[in-house]
């Protein structure tokens, strides 16, 4: 088993199951400024029902707070709906295409990472925390 060589301060943004989670590196603190820029820009743009396909990087409205976040299109579910994953947090949603824009290339930086622990790794972490 490979040993961990470096340590990073992170914050967990989404947990899929006990072995899979998404996190942001604390040293990449530019996420707040990226989201602020995104919300200022996107509010000024006119929505027009763009065509999207799986893999497209977009900005999308999050229904809980009505703010815009970076996302990736997972699939088109029907004529006006797309399944997306918010790339900075890991959670998913199905939204109307009118709630999305193409993500400007200058906002493609510092995306979150998904990590999966094998069962051996999680057992080791459990032992170390006792």
Model confidence, pTM: 0.66
Please work out, in degrees rounded to the nearest 5, the angle formed at the alpha carbon of residue 22 by the alpha carbons of 29 and 3.
95
Condensed to tens digits (0 to 9), the pLDDT of residues 14-59 reads 777 777 777 766 666 577 777 888 888 765 555 555 688 999 999 9
- Report d(CA 51, CA 78) in Å as an integer: 12
CATH, domain range 11-106: 2.30.30.140
For the chain, the structural domain boundaries read: 11-106
Q: Are strands 57-62 and 67-78 parallel, antiparallel or unpaired?
A: antiparallel
Condensed to tens digits (0 to 9), the pLDDT of residues 106-128 reads 887 655 555 666 644 444 343 33
């Amino acid at each position: 088993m490979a040993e961990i060589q470096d340590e990073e301060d992170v914050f967990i943004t989404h947990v899929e199951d006990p072995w899979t989670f998404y996190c942001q590196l604390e040293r990449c603190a530019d996420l707040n400024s990226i989201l602020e820029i995104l919300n200022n820009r996107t509010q000024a743009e006119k929505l027009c029902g763009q065509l999207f396909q799986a893999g497209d990087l977009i900005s999308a409205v999050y229904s809980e707070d009505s703010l815009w976040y970076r996302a990736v299109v997972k699939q088109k579910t029907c004529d006006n709906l797309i399944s997306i994953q918010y790339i900075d947090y890991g959670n998913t949603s199905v939204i109307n295409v009118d709630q999305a824009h193409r993500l400007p290339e200058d906002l493609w930086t510092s995306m979150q990472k998904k990590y999966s622990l094998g069962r051996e790794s999680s057992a080791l972490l459990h032992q170390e925390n006792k």
